[in-house]
């Protein structure tokens, strides 16, 4: 199932649930969902290296 496009919290949580349901680890699912939101135009900063 393809991920939903959008920047809302509901869309992000749906994409995370979809990816974890298909066997991805939680952190990887969050990263994929955030990347999809960035592609849709969300202003989410990338993780900083500290």
Task: Specify the pTM.
Answer: 0.82
| CA 21 to mean position of chain CA atoms | 14
In the prediction, which pLDDT does 21 show?
A: 95
pLDDT for 2 equals 86
**Rounded Cα gap, residues 3 and 18, in angstroms:** 8
The reported pLDDT for the residue numbered 42 is: 87
CB count within 10 Å of CB 26 equals 10
The tokens describing 45, both together, are 């900063």
pLDDT tens digits, one per residue of 4-47: 999 899 999 999 999 999 999 999 999 999 999 999 898 888 87
């Amino acid at each position: 199932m393809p991920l939903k496009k959008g920047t809302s919290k509901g869309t992000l949580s749906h994409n995370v649930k979809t990816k974890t349901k298909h066997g991805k680890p939680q952190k990887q699912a969050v990263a994929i969902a955030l990347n999809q939101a960035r592609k849709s135009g969300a202003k989410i900063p990338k993780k900083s290296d500290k």
